[in-house]
Amino acid sequence: MSFQNPVFIPGPTNIPEHLRKACDMPTIDHRSPLFGQILHPAREGVRKVLKSDNAEVFIFPSTGTGGWETALTNTLSAGDKILAARNGMFSHRWIDMCQRHELNVEIVETQWGDGLPADRYEEILTADKSHEIKAVLATHNETATGVKSDIAAVRRALDAAGHPALLFVDGVSSIASMDFRFDEWGVDVAVTGSQKGFMLSAGLAIVGFSAKAMEATKTGSLPRTFFDVHDMAKGYANNAYPYTPAVGLLNGLNESCKMLLDEGLENVFARHTRIAEGVRAAVGAWGLDLCATSPDVYSDTVSAIRTPEGFNATDIVTHAADKYGVAFGVGLGEVAGKVFRIGHLGSLTDVMALSGIATAEMCMADLGLDIQLGSGVAAAQDYYRGHALASQKDAA
């Protein structure tokens, strides 16, 4: 694998040189006021990226999986009932975590490629007259299938049912890349990580808690130590952690938030949509289909591309790495061997995306698929030429 080529996996993503240097810093006393000058601005930056005025932001040395566990263990008790749809590998893994914590999960089995069934959620919540369901899980962007779901619709389902359940949202591959509205959507816990939209190495679990979720931490009795938000809050009050923090990554997160906010969140989201549309144009030119079943659920951060029946899509990923030194994502779970994934999030431009599209074309042609070299590249070029960002139009 070549370190000179950008990666096209849906995380970890490419790291801008500025952020790599921000993480490469001398050792400091992590219990000093100097650390507070890194910690508190990073938390405030995350809050702005979440589009929240009041979310309590906690940053753990972990990954998004640790963020899932933080949401569950701080607010729930063994035996609590959870509502969740399984529509991909990552929703499946969160459900598995719930079950390992002895939570009672009502699973809505959903086709891999479809978004979350908000209408079915509403039916189940409305029927739950005794409010046994304590939390609803929602994967905003299912990384395995390239599917985004309508979190606002899930909130409307809760409200229409008059149900007090907490709303937990996995935003690991959406937050900082796609529009996310913590306050407006009534999210109670949002989970993400450092290695995707924030353009850093893996190593930080980033979570936002609503006031309602913080209230639930007073009664939740699942075991927790490392992920205890109250211990973390006490540390924050003294410019510290209850244990050793990942200082370099936190400094990188602070700078990442500055980069995102300087670009403007709406511009960040528009850039991701634009790059994704170019990739989708290429897929159409190849005569292939996305795993996502309809345009309203197309992800702007990852495209899972179906290959013809009988062809092992994983061969494309292996061949790209071996021959061209380029990384794509393999299919996972039910779509293993049926799709390969192009990640198009984080630090990425249309020019970088074109290199990934060209490489995918070469791999498919090498492996005998009926792909015309240049077809996908040309389709993406046409899209990018005709859909410049507002900032680029101004510069021209």
Binding residues for substrate: 341
Q: Report the 3 state secondary structure along the chain.
A: CCCCCCCECCCCCCCCHHHHHHHCCCCCCCCCHHHHHHHHHHHHHHHHHCCCCCCEEEEEECCHHHHHHHHHHHHCCCCCEEEEEECCHHHHHHHHHHHHCCCEEEEEECCCCCCCCHHHHHHHHHHCCCCCEEEEEEECEECCCCEECCHHHHHHHHHHCCCCCEEEEECCCCCCCCCCCCCCCCCCEEEEECCCCCCCCCCEEEEEECHHHHHHCCCCCCCCCCCCHHHHHHHHHCCCCCCCCCHHHHHHHHHHHHHHHHHCHHHHHHHHHHHHHHHHHHHHHHCCEECCCCHHHECCCEEEEECCCCCCCHHHHHHHHHHHCCCEEECCHHHCCCEEEEECCCCCCHHHHHHHHHHHHHHHHHCCCCCCCCHHHHHHHHHHHHCCCHHHHHHC
Which residues make up each annotated binding site? 341
